[in-house]
Amino acid sequence: MERKMLSQIPFLRKNKEQLITLAILIPLALLFLFPVLLVLYNSFKGSVYISNEPFALPDKESFVGVANYLVGLKQSGFFGALFRSFFITVSSVLLLALASSMCAWFLHRMGGRVSRILLGVLIIGMVVPFQMVMYTTTFITGKLGLASVYGMPLLYLAFGASLSVFILSGFVKGIPVAVEEAATIDGCGVVRMFFGVVMPLLTPALITVSVLNAMWIWNDYLLPYLVLGSDNRTIPVAIQLSMTGAYGSTNLGGLMAMLIFSMIPIVIFYLFSQKYIIDGVSQGAVKG
């Protein structure tokens, strides 16, 4: 009888639910963190030991200190690749956020059959694999003179606009038309109304879109490799090409060390922005 009464106390019931949740989430978190930890402690081991005993922790014989990091930085040209990746990621994310928000707002406010067709075409673009169009993209990019670091943001805009517009569409639906009508009565033009009224209301969705696009663009390998080649390497391309030698030989130690360096910026960015992803997606689902 007492046990039954205790189970009905809200405080105890809530704590029980939290313990069950933690019991499920902690093993899952460890499962997802294990590959990162594996790369981290292998970055302090010699390449031979990484190849022979990848799951073994560093010991006196296998531990090489920061030698892998120093060799990796020297061979990969990491800082040049870091600058190019940073420039491409930031400029592409800003361009995607601006263009996609304008597009989503215009299509929903315009209404009619044409806007629905255009929105449908954009959504269809989400299911087209990049591998189907990569050679055509490379050919056209070369003809248009976009095969450079400065042309990459336009390419990412083309491939990332579908998902961005799709996410932002749910938020645009939730913006009351009365707010825009009031701004028009107060004398706002279209440009001023968009930047002064609509964009502030789209802030959660814009942060969500920016975080998702930043993670994709920062880690992308195939598009920079095809367009920029080996002369203007981004971080993923630099790591792959510099750490892999002839006849399949690979500097595993340097590879692990550079993978850790490449993770740090995007992990920090994600940790500071993850709450906005959850809030943005949930709010967009409710509003949509």
User: Within this chain, do residues 167 and 29 fall inside the same structural domain, yes or no?
Assistant: no
Residues 25 and 96 in one domain: no
The answer for 285, left when phi > 0, alpha when psi is -120 to 50, beta otherwise, is alpha
Q: Which residues of the chain carry a pLDDT beneath 50?
A: 1-2, 5-6, 11, 284-288
pLDDT at 288: 43
Is there a domain that residue 210 lies in?
yes
Residue 145 located in a structural domain: yes
Domain count, the chain: 2
Asked if 253 and 120 sit in the same domain, the reply is yes
pLDDT value of residue 279: 61
* Per-residue pLDDT at 248: 64
Residue 122 belongs to a domain: yes
Report H helices in the chain.
2-7, 10-42, 47-52, 67-76, 78-110, 112-124, 134-144, 152-174, 177-185, 190-193, 199-201, 203-219, 222-228, 235-243, 252-287
Evaluate whether residue 128 is within a structural domain: yes
Distance spanning both ends of the chain, measured CA to CA: 48
Is residue 231 in some structural domain? Answer: yes
Query: Are 243 and 174 found together in one domain?
Result: yes
156 & 215 share domain: yes
Residue count of the chain, please give it.
288
pTM across the whole model: 0.82
Nearest to 166 by CA among 213, 120, 212, 129: 120
Per the structure, the complete domain to which residue 231 belongs is given by 75-287
Q: What pLDDT does 246 receive?
A: 62
Predicted pLDDT of residue 130: 81
**189 and 283 in a common domain:** yes
pLDDT value of position 14: 60
Question: Is position 67 within any domain?
Answer: no
CATH number of the domain bearing residue 95: 1.10.3720.10
In a domain, 29, yes or no: yes
Predicted confidence (pLDDT) per residue in 124-162, tens digit: 878 888 888 888 888 888 888 888 899 999 999 988 888
Looking at the structure, tell me whether residues 97 and 7 fall in a common domain: no
Are residues 138 and 10 located together in one domain of the fold?
Answer: no
Tokens of 281: 């997606």
Give a yes or no: residue 126 inside a domain.
Answer: yes
**Contact at 8 Å (CB) between 70 and 216?**
no
38 plus 79 within the same structural domain: no
Please give the pLDDT value at position 285.
46
Considering the domain architecture, whether residues 242 and 283 belong to the same structural domain is answered as yes
Tell which residue, 82, 201, 199, 216, has the closest CA to residue 156: 216
